[in-house]
Amino acid sequence: MKTITVNSRKGGAGKTTVSVSLAMAARQAGLRVVLADMDPLRSSSEILRSREEASSMLIEANAGKLWVLQENCKRNGCDLLVIDTPTHPESEIIHCMTHSDLVLAVTRPTFLDLAAVRETIALVQRTPTPGLVVLNQCPPKRNGEENPIVIDAVQRLRFGKLPVAKSVLRSRIAYQHAFASNCGVTEWDVNSEAAADVLWLLAEISKHLALAPPKSVPLPRTLRRRPQGVSPVRAMQSALRRLVG
């Protein structure tokens, strides 16, 4: 089982958005996933707790319970544990980071966020765990052209001490629709641009973690009813295979 801690020391950068989106996409792609909500504000739980399967995929916890949680997850055949963290206290975040296989340092591509992400990066570096910076809420491309803000952010992060994920998450209204419907964006509309962003990021992370794409996937009932020709889950799997392969 692999554990990913999602953190940013700055509020509102997108920890919950990244955690829920990745966890639900990985689950939809057939991995057994548990999302641990370690933020006392319980935003991830707010999104997912009304779902029928909530008890098998969502856990409200704190860093002190991480070891027991990981042991339980392993015993129950979980493939991936995603931890949504708060901005503080530092000691709890470091504990989660230390006992993870990968830390995602989430940041928006703005001047102040990029300044703040240095702190998150510094925390990751106090642990033995590899980290990856994830740019969130990036402006969408225009006519295929990357926004200068994103180019500049990547440039500035290039000289930092953590690699930057090639896949960025852009500002998309789909996240609001999905969360209001108690699901991730890939579940809400697997053909949306937001879903594509998340799938590419998931594929990139899978490569970092050497997570094998699942062989057979039971199609969720809601997706099975969709009228389009291509199975969204299959589309997701092939996206994963292309990069994990």
Ligand X SMILES: Nc1ncnc2c1ncn2[C@@H]1O[C@H](COP(=O)(O)OP(=O)(O)OP(=O)(O)O)[C@@H](O)[C@H]1O
Residues found in the chain? 245
Is residue 108 at the binding interface for Mg ion, with CB under 5 A as the rule? no
The residue ranges that bind ligand X (CB under 6 A) are: 8, 11-17, 39, 41, 43, 87, 136-137, 169, 171-172, 175-176
- Cβ partners under 8 Å of residue 17, min gap 6: 136, 169, 175, 179
- Reading the block at residue 124, the tokens are 């990751």
User: Is the CB of 195 or the CB of 244 nearer to ligand X?
Assistant: 195
User: Is the CB of 23 or the CB of 244 nearer to ligand X?
Assistant: 23
Is residue 129 at the binding interface for Mg ion, with CB under 5 A as the rule? no
Q: How many residues bind Mg ion (CB under 5 A)?
A: 3
Closest CA to 15 of 28, 25, 4: 4
> CA–CA separation, 56 vs 67, rounded Å?
18
From residue 61, alpha-carbon distances to 16, 40, 64, 143 in Å are 15, 9, 8, 44
In angstroms, give the least distance from the CB of 144 to ligand X. Answer: 19
User: Is the CB of 15 or the CB of 27 nearer to Mg ion?
Assistant: 15
User: Is the CB of 43 or the CB of 192 nearer to Mg ion?
Assistant: 43
- Reading the block at residue 54, the tokens are 């909530």
Q: 17 is in the binding site of which of Mg ion, ligand X, none (Cβ under 5 to 8 A by kind)?
A: ligand X
In our burial notation (b when 16+ CB lie closer than 10 A, e otherwise), range 5-41 reads bbbbbbeebbbbbbbbbbbbbbbbbbbbbbbbbbbee
Q: 175 is in the binding site of which of Mg ion, ligand X, none (Cβ under 5 to 8 A by kind)?
A: ligand X
- Selected from 43, 85, 120, 237, the binder of Mg ion by CB under 5 A is 43
DSSP E strands in 110-244: the ranges are 131-135
Is residue 16 at the binding interface for Mg ion, with CB under 5 A as the rule? yes
- Which run of H or of E encompasses 103? strand 102-107
Q: 171 is in the binding site of which of ligand X, Mg ion, none (Cβ under 5 to 8 A by kind)?
A: ligand X
- Selected from 15, 27, 95, 172, the binder of Mg ion by CB under 5 A is 15
Q: 2 is in the binding site of which of Mg ion, ligand X, none (Cβ under 5 to 8 A by kind)?
A: none
Q: 237 is in the binding site of which of Mg ion, ligand X, none (Cβ under 5 to 8 A by kind)?
A: none
Positions that interact with Mg ion (CB under 5 A): 15-16, 43
